[in-house]
Amino acid sequence: MASIDSLHYPSQAEPLIQNGLKSRVLLPTDAAYAARIDSYWCNSAKLRPSCIVQPQSAEEVSKAVVALAKANQLFAIRSGGHTNWAGSNNITDGVTLDLGLLNSTEYDDTNQIVHLGPGGKWKDVYDELEKHGRRVAGGRESDVGVGGFLLGGGNTFYASFYGLACNSVIAYDVVLADGRIITAEAEGDHADLFCALKGGGNNFGIVTRFTMRTIPGGPVWGGLAIHPLDVIPAGVKGVVDFTTNNASDLYTNMQFVVGYLPRFGGNICLTIANNMAAIEKPPSLQKFLALPEIMNNYKTTTLQEVITYSSLPPNYYNIWFTLTIKNDASIILKAAELHDQMAKELQAGIPDQDFASHVSFQPLPYLFVQKSHVANSSGNVLGLEQNTGDAIVIQASVSVRTAELEAWARPKVRALVDEVRAFANNIEGGVMPWMYLNYSHSSQEVLQSYGPENVRRIREAAWKYDPEGVFQRLCPGGFKISALKI
Ligand SMILES: Cc1cc2nc3c(=O)[nH]c(=O)nc-3n(C[C@H](O)[C@H](O)[C@H](O)COP(=O)(O)OP(=O)(O)OC[C@H]3O[C@@H](n4cnc5c(N)ncnc54)[C@H](O)[C@@H]3O)c2cc1C
């Protein structure tokens, strides 16, 4: 029965209040609730939960999970709130467990490791670590959250050294469905969970602290260059060669983007490139540096500045799809051509032209797989080793202003990726099995793409650590292992 004190609270908040979390609950009438909803990067994700609970410690996360599980209450988990699709990190008619106040960065000089709260943003992580002359192999964009990025894998500037960012995590503090708070490490009782959390998303519990190895900080050289569209063939050749030769220059990273990006002048292509050892104009980038340019801002600068260059404007409805292809120029050119067609359709259908679209081509050389094993001999569940050679991750994106336009544009982005896949399927090894969770649309079969052995490991860990299936039944957001048929 509801207490008198809590009568004006929605029923969804009642279990939280009864478990002592009343002061952590935000209601739809609270200004702080509105601010938290507004802080989601993407409009598609700005659902209106019955209430938000903002724990301030792992113990409070535990209290919240126990209360929600006991009440059979649907909930969502949110860290940085950067996943774009509706329902991934927020919920209608349910409780959003918002980890935004668990945002600390605590450096331990003795062991040169850092403890990160899931709700931190990478710019704050780098700011704090810089005071100690250190950094981590973390996010490439300033406002992306620690939690979702690391649980999906994490494409980092240091992938040539350590593979995806999750390989640099050495311990996870996790709140389980029954309220226990455990630490999963490479050795010991929870080694299976340690491995499953590296790519397995929110299937097992709520991570309240990530412990990562740090690396030396210092200046970087980098920035972006905007090119006219006619450089696309040369840029594509450049990205293929860069990917093939990545082992010769581990400190340099780049991505090549074709897009309709009004803030850069409309239909353009661009190169985002950095050298993490602050070597100016490294030889591995010569092909890109020789391309005709509209402008570039390459310079020696801070990591904090470089991570602003991948920012995408907030407050749009965004559609993202992904695909991993062979490092092959003809497939990349096909994707660029399909983007051009899609951008024309969008321009014709959106009279005020207030939209953006792009396809980015991100190197995924086989080197990243080899370096994952060196950095983290305990493995992960990503299944990247299924990729038989050098690959390119495609991230296709459209940003529009209304939910109606999102519904209209979604099939176009899906069709672009489907047509690239169909084209690539005609080339031997043209489509790589693995798909990147953090760039995927909710309809994409991400966990399946990790391969049957990794699906088994995720499934076993999910049922071992959450035998009642709380995170499967009550937390519908994210990619759920229980949804798989295999
Ligand atoms: C502008 C922009 C740039 C980006 N750049 C990159 C990039 O360079 N490299 C890259 O790899 N990705 C990049 N991404 C994708 C990004 O990694 C994902 O969107 C990631 O999920 C964001 O993390 P978050 O904490 O903000 O996630 P949220 O949206 O808060 O959460 C993502 C998912 O993880 C779950 N989750 C979050 N925290 C926890 C937790 N502590 N315990 C259990 N489950 C949890 C949520 O329930 C949700 O399903 C970018 C995204 C944007 C919008």
Nearest Cα to Cα of residue 226 among 190, 182, 272, 185: 272
Tell me the DSSP string of 179-190.
S-EEEEESSSTT
Does ligand 1 have an atom closer than 6 angstroms to the CB of 138? no
| Contact of 236 with 332, CB cutoff 8 Å | yes
- For residues 137 and 165, the answer to whether their CB atoms sit within 8 Å is yes
Distance CA 157, CA 220 (A): 11
Residue 485 is predicted with a pLDDT of: 81
Which of 65, 68, 74, 82 to mutate for ligand 1's pocket (most ligand atoms within 8 Å of CB)?
82
Q: How far is the CA of 437 from the centre of ligand 1 (A)?
A: 9
Cα torsion 228, 230, 232, 238 to 10°: value is: -90
List strand residue ranges (DSSP E) for 104-251, in order: 105-108, 113-116, 134-135, 169-175, 181-185, 206-213, 215-216, 220-227
Strand 181-185 with 134-135, pairing? unpaired
Judge if the beta carbon of residue 207 lies within 6 A of ligand 1: yes
Ligand 1: residue of 68, 78, 85, 162 to mutate (most ligand atoms within 8 A of CB) is 78
Q: Are 438 and 446 in contact (CB under 8 A)?
A: no
How far apart are alpha carbons 390 and 16 in whole angstroms? 49
How far is the C-alpha of 282 from the C-alpha of 160, rounded, in Å?
15
Torsion of CA 135, 136, 141, 142, to 10 degrees: -50
What single-letter DSSP state applies at residue 110?
A: T
- Phi then psi for residue 6, to 5 deg, are -105, 15
The secondary structure of 315-349 as a DSSP string is SBEEEEEEEEEES-HHHHHHHHHHHHHHHHHHHHH
Q: What angle do CA 153, 336, 257 make, to 5 degrees?
A: 50
Query: Do 147 and 76 meet the contact criterion of CB atoms below 8 Å apart?
Result: no
> Considering only CA atoms, which of 394, 422, 398, 393 is closest in space to residue 410?
398
Strand 51-53 and strand 75-78: the pairing is unpaired
- Taking the centre of ligand 1 as the mean of its atom positions, its distance from the CA of residue 84, in whole angstroms, is 9
User: In terms of Cα–Cα distance, which of 450, 475, 378 is closest to 184?
Assistant: 378
Residue 91 and residue 49 in contact, taking contact as beta carbons nearer than 8 Å: yes
- For ligand 1, say whether the CB of 36 is within 6 Å of any of its atoms: no
Q: What is the pLDDT of residue 190?
A: 98
Structure tokens at 461: 């860990």
What pLDDT is recorded for position 375? 86
Task: Render 238-266 in DSSP notation, one character per residue.
Answer: HHHHHHHTGGG-TTEEEEEEEEEEGGGTE
Q: Give the pLDDT of residue 5.
A: 54
Atom of ligand 1 nearest to the CA of 165: 11
User: Backbone dihedral region of 195: left (phi > 0), alpha (psi from -120 to 50 degrees) or beta?
Assistant: alpha
CB of 311 sitting under 6 A from ligand 1:
yes
Distance separating alpha carbons of residues 216 and 397, to the nearest angstrom:
34
For the chain, 486 residues long, the average pLDDT of each consecutive 10-residue run is: 62 97 97 98 98 98 98 98 97 98 98 98 98 98 97 98 97 98 97 98 98 98 96 97 97 98 93 98 96 97 94 96 98 98 97 96 96 89 94 98 98 98 98 97 97 97 98 98 90
Q: Report the relative pairing of strands 220-227 and 299-301 from DSSP bridges.
A: antiparallel
- Among candidates 308, 273, 311, 310, which has minimal Cα distance to 289? 273
In short, whether 81's Cβ falls inside 6 Å of ligand 1 is: yes
- For atom 41 of ligand 1, which residue has the closest CA? 207
Helix axes 403-425, 329-349, angle to 10 degrees: 160
Spacing, Cα 290 to ligand 1 middle (Å): 34
**SS3 for 125?**
helix
- Nearest atom of ligand 1 to the alpha carbon of 156: 9
Pocket flag, ligand 1, residue 200 (CB < 6 Å)? no
Q: Provide the 10 A C-beta neighbour count for residue 435.
A: 23
451 Cβ below 6 A of ligand 1: no
What domains sit in the chain, N to C, each tagged with a CATH number?
Answer: 4-98 (3.30.465.10), 105-216 (3.30.465.10), 220-439 (3.40.462.20)
Is residue 138 within 8 A of residue 215, CB to CB? The reply is no
Q: What is the SS3 assignment for 410?
A: helix
- Name the one residue in this structure whose structure tokens are 């801070």: 302
Q: Ligand 1 center to residue 324 CA distance, Å? A: 19
Instruction: State residue 7's pLDDT score.
Output: 57
Are residues 118 and 208 in contact, defined by beta-carbon separation less than 8 angstroms?
yes
pTM for the complete prediction? 0.97
* pLDDT for position 2: 46
